[in-house]
Amino acid sequence: MFKKPKAIDTAFQLVRTFCFGLMILSVVLAGFALEMSFHMVSKAESRIFILANGKVLEAYAGDRKDNIEVEARDHIKAFHMDFFSLDPDDKVIRANISRALYLADWSAKKQYDNLKESGYYTNLITANISQQIEVDSIAVSTKDYPYYFHCVAHEKLIRTTSIVTRNLITEGWLRNVARSDNNPHGFLIEKWMILDNRDMKTENR
């Protein structure tokens, strides 16, 4: 007489446990599916397709913090290349300096004004001197903001009869600004100083 109610009670407990377990499993599976869908959407949004020379290239977007040192070094290199790569042509000089001044603050403008007042650019034009620069190394510290950098390069002043090689060491700080066509990396060089710019050697041509 009592066996039947006991059997019913046991069956009810088993059904309740099974339903409870099934509910937990459903919640876990739903959470997993939701997490995977978010991951897939994020991955899809990070994909970028670039059209270059009639070909579609796939690229992936990344956070700026992942590439900050690479972008900083490229910004510093671009500035130095524009500021110091000069030919004996007033339009070329003005175009290069103009591009460089978008990447730095008044400290670069001050250096430019000092060189202009001393007749440096006039001398390049009248003596048909071309100036080239090769950046040897750029060290950027991202531990503190603004970011400190130290740049080592060398210049070549190509004259009709000789080539003069100069050492070039500069330093400064980088702060973040809005990206633009004139400043694609979104950095601005501050307190830029030339630490060394001595002649190293002269070669006859």
pTM value > 0.85: no
CATH match for 64-204 among 3.40.50.1980, 3.40.50.970, 3.30.450.20, 3.10.450.230: 3.10.450.230
Would you list the domain boundaries of the chain? 3-48, 64-204
What are the pLDDT digits (tens) for 145-176? 999 999 999 999 999 899 999 999 999 999 99
Predicted confidence band of residue 14 (pLDDT cuts 50, 70, 90):
confident
| Alpha helix ranges (H) inside the chain | 3-45, 64-84, 90-101, 106-117, 120-126
Confidence (pLDDT) at 49: 59
DSSP string of 168-192? EEEEEEEEE----SS-TT-EEEEEE
Residue with token string 């500069």: 170
